[in-house]
Amino acid sequence: MHRPTGSRPAIGTVCAVLALLAACSAQPTEAGDAAPRLKGADLSRIHGSEAEQRRLFEAEERLTADCMTDRGFRYRPNPWRGPSAAPADDPRDGDDVESRRRAGYGGASAGAVEGGKRGEDPNGVYVRSLARDGQKAYMGALYGTEQHKISAPVPGGGVTFMYGDGCNGKAQQRLYGDLKRWMVARLVVANLEPDINRGVLADRRVARADAAWSRCMNAAGHTFPHPAKARASALQGEKGDGQRPHARRAGEAAGVSRREIAIAVADARCDKAVGRAKLIRSLDEHYRDQLAQERAETLNTYRELRGRALAALTASPERE
């Protein structure tokens, strides 16, 4: 079982501080406290430092464990595993020929790293040991029940929800105060990079670069309409380009076939020739600035609630 170093704070003290935080977070902001204007560059720092992320994660896990204990269940806090690695298929790096020559599309190694970081749920064995009714009661205690559903619209479309009576929701409410505001802000922040990528890749200038890239690939003997299709074919062993997969040579990276290397290198060469990744890098700042402005209110809410939670933890006499 993973525990942070040092003595565990007395639950009464931590809860008292966090309860005070919850009360404070409900107070309106004074008119003079204008939210700072966000720029695209701020988005990369929105999560805070890794030390701050870990501190909040472990506080939430401890509060969840205490709540589950109070409800008669065992819950082992999940260990901190750090932020997820950058995706191996970042289109901003699509013209890196040497990287593709060494590791293809990087899917095998990236999957192994992420799989190792995720690990097994430390509570899985315990939950499976319970009778069916016990498992249902455990999940209801942890995640809550339909009767206590809290939902809210998300900027840009869609709805997010959580069950407020679950220990998971109770822990987040103690940490961040306003659960509805927090779950919306958290979801928006979690989707920042995917939303930026969607905006960039939907740009008509990228579509024109894709067409030029496809012509280049066809001349090299690989028929694909766009880079995503080439990557999927190489990693999934599709025969979309009429080529047969080859066995790996001795010493070749596990999970990376000669066919994957051939497609990946051709992909990067054509990307470089038509300037696709260069274009995407130039568009990235524009779409980051645009999203920072469109989501400014929610992003500032995220920073506000995180900041207050960290301040409350710091104010606790028994710091984690």
Quote the pLDDT of residue 108: 52
Q: Is residue 21 pLDDT above 60, yes or no?
A: no
Q: Which residues contact 21 (CB under 8 A, 6 or more apart)?
A: 174, 175, 176, 177, 308, 309, 311, 312
If we measure between CA atoms, which residue out of 126, 131, 130, 173 comes closest to residue 148? 173
pLDDT of residue 33: 45
Neighbouring CB atoms inside 10 A of 32's CB total 5
Mean predicted confidence (pLDDT) in 131-158: 95
Nearest to 183 by CA among 198, 195, 196, 171: 171
Does the pLDDT value for residue 90 go beyond 70?
Answer: yes
The pLDDT value given to residue 29: 40
pLDDT digits (tens, 9 = 90+) for 103-128: 999 865 544 444 445 567 889 999 99
Separation between Cα atoms, residue 59 and residue 171, nearest integer Å: 8
| Res 267 pLDDT > 50 | yes
State whether residue 161 is helix, strand or coil: strand
Per-chain mean pLDDT for the chain: 82
Nearest to 143 by CA among 135, 133, 152: 135
Nearest to 59 by CA among 18, 118, 19: 18
Say if residue 253 is exposed, middle or buried (CB neighbours under 10 Å; 0-12, 13-18, 19+). Answer: middle
> What pLDDT does 87 receive?
63
Mean pLDDT over 162-182 rounds to 96
Is the Cβ–Cβ distance between 273 and 233 less than 8 Å? no
Q: Does residue 248 surpass a pLDDT of 50?
A: no
Indicate the pLDDT class of residue 6, thresholds 50, 70 and 90: very low
Output the pLDDT for position 84: 72
Mean pLDDT of 234-262: 62
Query: What is the structure's pLDDT at 26?
Result: 37
- Does the structure show a pLDDT above 50 at 138? yes
Q: Strand, coil or helix: what is 162?
A: strand
Six-digit token string for 71? 């409800």
Query: Residue 245 has which token pair?
Result: 């997969």
| pLDDT given for residue 130 in this prediction | 96
94 pLDDT more than 60: yes
Task: Compare 201 and 31 and report the one with higher pLDDT.
Answer: 201
Of the listed ranges 96-110, 192-206, 270-284, the least confidently predicted one is 96-110
Q: Sorting pLDDT into bands at 50, 70 and 90, what band is 37?
A: confident
CA neighbor of 210 nearest in space, from 61, 79, 91, 89: 91
Per-residue pLDDT tens over the stretch 41-62: 889 889 999 999 999 999 999 9
Nearest to 4 by CA among 68, 60, 70, 83: 60
Q: What is the mean pLDDT of residues 150-172?
A: 94
Q: How many CB atoms lie within 10 A of CB 170?
A: 19
- How many helices and strands, by DSSP H and E, does the chain display? 14, 2
Name the 3-class secondary structure at 163.
Answer: strand
Q: What percent of the chain has pLDDT over 90?
A: 68
Which pLDDT score is estimated for 88?
A: 64
pLDDT digits (tens, 9 = 90+) for 199-244: 999 999 999 999 999 999 999 999 999 999 999 999 886 444 444 4
- Tell whether the model's pLDDT for residue 3 goes beyond 70: no
In this prediction, residue 318 has a pLDDT band, given cuts at 50, 70 and 90, of low
User: Does the pLDDT at position 247 exceed 70?
Assistant: no
Q: What's the rounded Cα separation, in Å, for the pair 184 and 153?
A: 8
* pLDDT of 274: 98
* Average pLDDT estimate for 82-92: 77
